[in-house]
Structure 1
Amino acid sequence: MMEQQAQKGHPKGLYVLFATEFWERFSYYGMRAIFILFMTKYLFFNKSYASNIYGTYTGLVYLTPLIGGYVADRYWGNRKSIFVGGILMAIGQFLLFTCASLPQGSGSSLLFLWAGLGFLIFGNGFFKPNISTMVGQLYPEGDVRKDGAYSIFYMGINAGAFFAPLICGYLGENVDFKWGFFSAGVGMLVGLVIFYLTKDKYVVAPDGTQLGVTANKLNDKTTSDEASNSGGGFSTQQLTILIGGIAVVMSILYFILKVDFWGSLIYGMTIVAPFVVITDKSLTKIEKDRLWVIILIMIFVVFFWMCFEQAGASLTFFADEQTNRKIFGWEMPASYFQSFNAGFIVLLAPIISIIWLKLKHRNPAAPYKQSFGLGFLALGFLFIAIGSKNIPNAGASIIWLTGLYFLHTIGELCLSPIGLSMVNKLTPGRFTSLMMGVWFLAIATGNKLAGAMSSLYPEQQNISAQFEASNVKMNGVTVNWDSVTNVRDISQNSIWDVQLVKKSADSKEVDSLVSITTSDLMPNIVGTDSVRVKRFIPGKMSEEKVKKIFEKYGDKEPKFIFGKGKEPSTYYILRNEMYAKNNEVKLEVWNTNPKAPVFLGIEIKDLFTYFMVFVALSGLAAFILFILSNKLQKMMHGVK
């Protein structure tokens, strides 16, 4: 009777794990909420470059779990890996805090940026696969509560993802980016403290033994003698094949197909690692069939995350630039939209979990559920494509992004927690964390491709040329920025002759770099050195509005001069580089009508076309997976 009572609830260890993950997700999503905005508004990266950095970072974040899973399986166990990963991630967030505290664009700030991202990437690799794996270990074999446990776990951790943009996003956009990163680092430390204080009492197996203390290879209950002696993880021969195979595939991608280095690494590992696992000699026929199900579904998972992860990149651009965010006079920060998905998960996860339990024997197999997930993803992009077709001057209604995130959340709940549970149930115990890492390879590839797809976002304007000079001359007079107190000091004439000169490579002679003569060039927009005022679309600004901008951010004088160019589609920004060597000046030539990006022969001229590309990709993937689901279900050999 007591045993039946226990089966109705969940072990307390589940809530310890999702409380720990709550704060880790707070840290990750808090940083992600402001990362793309930080790069474009503080570091002055253009959208295409920033999108590719974003994709590389999030791709590597999901790549390193393969390393962390292998180390946990073979050497450390789950607990030590979680602690090491958490500490590395906290250090990474504080390095980004340091980056945002230094003068923007300086060499030292960029050094801290790359270092911070590196710590976050490797820290996540040790943390993520191991805490996810421990959820399944809380339950006995065949326990029907596992699917529900992963849904609850998913709901709990997304509570952290919900609050993260509200706090880190507010601090980053309205106070200073550095405090957004700082709060993310503090959140990571809180998660580690919770896990340390509660792990021994609650994170235990059904028989009471503590989980994650020893390497996972020692916990495998296989009946195969060959499997028992395999040692878990990759053998020396497999490691040789893995490293050699990755080197070959990377070389083809990098040198022949001209894929960037990190993309070549991510794609190379995603292609080679599953092949090495499936050829392990200790696997039985049934084990191989089940692993093939995981590997084949990984292909479709790539498409899902490639589309879904636009949330942190192109959809953030849409929220920031094309969406009317004013609500009763209050303008919502663009980063707040990244809370929508997590908020919907908290609301919908219990409902979806109950639906799966109510279906019982009619509950569809995992591949069918995941095809539904891709279908809802396509519907979400179709919804926003309709909304982006005719955007009013005030901006698109928040309804369009809200509807997209609602539909995408349903899709995510049909795919992601089901995938985690499927990997746990279909994988032999000795490969549990390793295969969780391999599963994350598909997410890594999807994230990297998400950045590449975001770089195709149809910009209304972009930098077509950029020049640095030791001197800038206007009408033959060198501008001394230190003496400029009013924009009229250097705009007295309606015709400016802007001549840029810089020292040649030998630093002895001065060469004329470019001379631009423009007419009717009275500056119609001015800006400031404030972190928050960096990009303006050309347009008339009254002196009163300019004064208010200065007063709001404590600036006393304009440091940016904006003017229209000779060509109707160009204008330039003449900006004093306060922190550059020798107080240099930079001229940016902007194109308001850039060439449209092309994808698979499709010219992406507007947002409607851009979003319809995602409709086609995710919709086609959903259809194909649905057709294959019956075959994949048979290969699962009775596992639901």
Structure 2
Amino acid sequence: MKPEKLDSSPSGHPKGLYVLFATEMWERFNYYGMRAVLVLFMTKALLLDKVFSSNLYGSYTGLVYLTPLIGGFVADRYWGNRRSIVTGGLLMALGELILFACASVYQSAPDLSTFLFFSGLGFMISGNGFFKPNISSMVGQLYPAGDHRKDAAYTIFYMGINVGGAFGPFICGLVGDTGDPADFKWAFLAGAVAMLLAVIVFIIFRDKHVRDPEGALLGLEPEHGLEKKKRPNQVLVYLGLLIYSGICVGLLYVDAQKFSFLSYLMLAAIVIIAAMIFLDPKLSSAEKKKVLVIFIVSFFVIFFWSAFEQAGASLTFFAEEQTQRDLGFFVVPASWFQSLNSTFVVIFSFIFALIWMKMGKREPSAPTKMALGLLFLALGYFWIATGVKDAGPGIKVSMIWLIGMYAFHTWGELCLSPIGLSLVNKLAPFKFASLLMAVWFTANAIANVLAGKLSSLYPEAGKTTSFLGYEMSNLNEFFMLFVVMAGVASAILFLMTKWLQKLMAAQD
């Protein structure tokens, strides 16, 4: 196909950005909608206890962010972004349909339901591994090197994520979190429909609009990939995908039911990736310094996401049991509170983008913004810790405390997540673009596993939990744990920013 002239929208951004925006929006509707009801489904329908549900939630979300290592590698070496995105989307849609079946038979066939539950989560995990790193890395490829619009593009893309993240919990909560556990199946079905819409949008518009600045198609199979005569039979490819998804099911089951090994697996993955990149003789010294920055900031985001991701676990328990949700004429579903963060992102994303633009040369560096993000997170937990300080056991508190906390967390996220995505894209050598984007998501994976373990410490009436010698017997003490954790990480990152800026500016 002959390259076409790059088309741009009236905003000055390529139209391909909005194709990726819409694709990611529907996929995030699927993911966040399902996540909003996941621990509620486990505790209310499957009747699992909170400690097990929290740890399983952490294992699931951890693997969701770990499998992009495989998806990024396959895309970089063999498939390209386009094929990986479609494959991942279809696997996730299948996963949601399996969960729909699970929620339809959990009462009549509990053993089958358990098998379907782990299988559905496994397919969601495997599909996300192909989808997530590839669509994120394609955003930066729409622009020429050094284009100042990249930060704004990732903020716009991030808003697409959060439009889906806002509507997903709202719609899935509306149809699934009704008070009747039998209705959870409709939340999973809504997620499947949204995921199929994401795939359809991408397939229809990718050839016309998802192109590089010269007009060439983006995301095709890499030149150094498999030659046509060496490509395996398609039946073997699909059989391989089935086996891969089965492995994800097995990993989740073993980690949840037998022994927890994900932390060691993730550490091994980081060491292997670091060795692959830093031992590559074709990378210059300056490139390696920039890659080092990616690894360092990825370490710090672990502290952010392990606290932030309480939204799907302990904060859902808090919303369900200890937040006054009765408006007199309507009881707000606990799952709806997970729409707050994404709704606030949609409201505030352009404000933050405008702030950075107006600051001009005084705009903080990316590491400084990320340190600010951790500070806002700590302030959010301090806000809600203050709200529950004098609340006795069984006393429900106003929704304003959760709403205010999510506002602080959103401001923190806007300082950290889109900035981090853009930073990785700008610093990563082209040949490792998807793989280093996957490193960013591996930090999320570690954080999510830790989030599940921290959520399992949620103190219920008469129960005292402990973390590294710090005992928690009430919600104030539980939330203060995150204040200290995020606050200390923020202070350390602030102190490191000038050194990190020197590494980012390294030249050969």
**Equivalent residue number for residue 438 of structure 1:** 439
Match of 1:21 among 2, 19, 24: 24
Deviation readout 1:93-129 (Å, 9 max, x if unpaired): 0000011011347111000011101100010000000
Q: 1:165 to 1:77 in 2, by over 3 A?
A: same
**Equivalent residue number for residue 501 of structure 2:** 633
**Equivalent residue number for residue 155 of structure 1:** 159
State the percentage of identical aligned residues: 54
**Equivalent residue number for residue 521 of structure 1:** none
Shift of residue 638, structure 1, vs aligned partner: 6.6
Shift of residue 272, structure 1, vs aligned partner: 4.1
Distance across 2 between alignment mates of 1:216 and 1:45: 49
- TM-score when scaled to structure 2? 0.89
Q: 1:270 to 1:604 in 2, by over 3 A?
A: farther
**Amino acid corresponding to residue 319 of structure 1 in structure 2:** A
Matches within 5 A, 1:198-217: 198-215=205-222
Contact (CA 8 Å) 1:56, 1:263: kept in 2 or not?
no
Q: 1:199 to 1:36 in 2, by over 3 A?
A: same
Q: 1:272 to 1:453 in 2, by over 3 A?
A: farther
**Equivalent residue number for residue 388 of structure 1:** 388
1:346 aligns with 2:353: no
- TM-score when scaled to structure 1? 0.71
Q: Which structure's relative contact order is higher, taking Cα pairs within 8 Å and 6+ residues apart?
A: 2
Distance across 2 between alignment mates of 1:95 and 1:102: 11
Distance across 2 between alignment mates of 1:443 and 1:314: 18
**Equivalent residue number for residue 94 of structure 1:** 97
SS in structure 2 at match of 1:326: coil
Distance across 2 between alignment mates of 1:324 and 1:353: 35
Shift of residue 83, structure 1, vs aligned partner: 0.5
**Amino acid corresponding to residue 89 of structure 1 in structure 2:** M
Shift of residue 329, structure 1, vs aligned partner: 2.8
Distance across 2 between alignment mates of 1:622 and 1:259: 33
Contact (CA 8 Å) 1:216, 1:429: kept in 2 or not?
no
Rg larger for: 1
Distance across 2 between alignment mates of 1:414 and 1:310: 19
Deviation readout 1:458-506 (Å, 9 max, x if unpaired): 022xxxxxxxxxxxxxxxxxxxxxxxxxxxxxxxxxxxxxxxxxxxxxx
Contact (CA 8 Å) 2:374, 2:487: kept in 1 or not?
yes
Deviation readout 1:68-100 (Å, 9 max, x if unpaired): 000000000000000000000000000000110
Shift of residue 394, structure 1, vs aligned partner: 5.5
Q: 1:322 to 1:637 in 2, by over 3 A?
A: same
Deviation readout 1:37-77 (Å, 9 max, x if unpaired): 00000001100000000000000000000100000000000
Contact (CA 8 Å) 1:217, 1:430: kept in 2 or not?
no
1:78 aligns with 2:81: yes
Contact (CA 8 Å) 2:45, 2:106: kept in 1 or not?
no
**Equivalent residue number for residue 277 of structure 2:** 277
Distance across 2 between alignment mates of 1:428 and 1:103: 48
Match of 2:131 among 109, 113, 127: 127
1:610 aligns with 2:478: yes
**Amino acid corresponding to residue 401 of structure 2 in structure 1:** W
Distance across 2 between alignment mates of 1:629 and 1:184: 40
The alignment's C-alpha RMSD in Å is 2.1
**Equivalent residue number for residue 448 of structure 2:** 447
**Amino acid corresponding to residue 46 of structure 2 in structure 1:** L
**Amino acid corresponding to residue 301 of structure 1 in structure 2:** V
1:188 aligns with 2:191: no
Structure 2: which 5+ residue stretches go unaligned? Answer: 226-250
**Equivalent residue number for residue 424 of structure 2:** 423
Distance across 1 between alignment mates of 2:201 and 2:9: 25
**Equivalent residue number for residue 228 of structure 2:** none
Contact (CA 8 Å) 1:165, 1:339: kept in 2 or not?
yes
Distance across 2 between alignment mates of 1:326 and 1:348: 28
Higher percent of residues as helix = 2
Deviation readout 1:309-366 (Å, 9 max, x if unpaired): 0000000000000000122431100000000000000000001111111122111111
1:622 aligns with 2:463: no
Deviation readout 1:154-205 (Å, 9 max, x if unpaired): 0112101100111111111116000110110010001111111111111111
Distance across 2 between alignment mates of 1:27 and 1:130: 17
Shift of residue 419, structure 1, vs aligned partner: 0.5
Contact (CA 8 Å) 2:92, 2:124: kept in 1 or not?
yes
Q: 1:156 to 1:8 in 2, by over 3 A?
A: closer
1:12 aligns with 2:15: yes
Q: 1:8 to 1:339 in 2, by over 3 A?
A: closer
**Equivalent residue number for residue 366 of structure 1:** 366
**Amino acid corresponding to residue 327 of structure 1 in structure 2:** L
Q: 1:6 to 1:337 in 2, by over 3 A?
A: closer
Distance across 2 between alignment mates of 1:52 and 1:71: 29
Matches within 5 A, 1:192-341: 192-215=199-222, 260-341=260-341
Distance across 2 between alignment mates of 1:209 and 1:148: 23
Distance across 2 between alignment mates of 1:391 and 1:275: 51
Shift of residue 279, structure 1, vs aligned partner: 2.5
Contact (CA 8 Å) 1:86, 1:124: kept in 2 or not?
yes
Contact (CA 8 Å) 2:291, 2:428: kept in 1 or not?
yes
SS in structure 2 at match of 1:280: coil
Structure 1: which 5+ residue stretches go unaligned? Answer: 219-249, 461-592
1:59 aligns with 2:62: yes
Shift of residue 268, structure 1, vs aligned partner: 3.1
Matches within 5 A, 1:427-576: 427-460=428-461
**Divergent runs of 4+, >6 A:** 5-8
SS in structure 2 at match of 1:603: strand
Contact (CA 8 Å) 1:72, 1:216: kept in 2 or not?
no
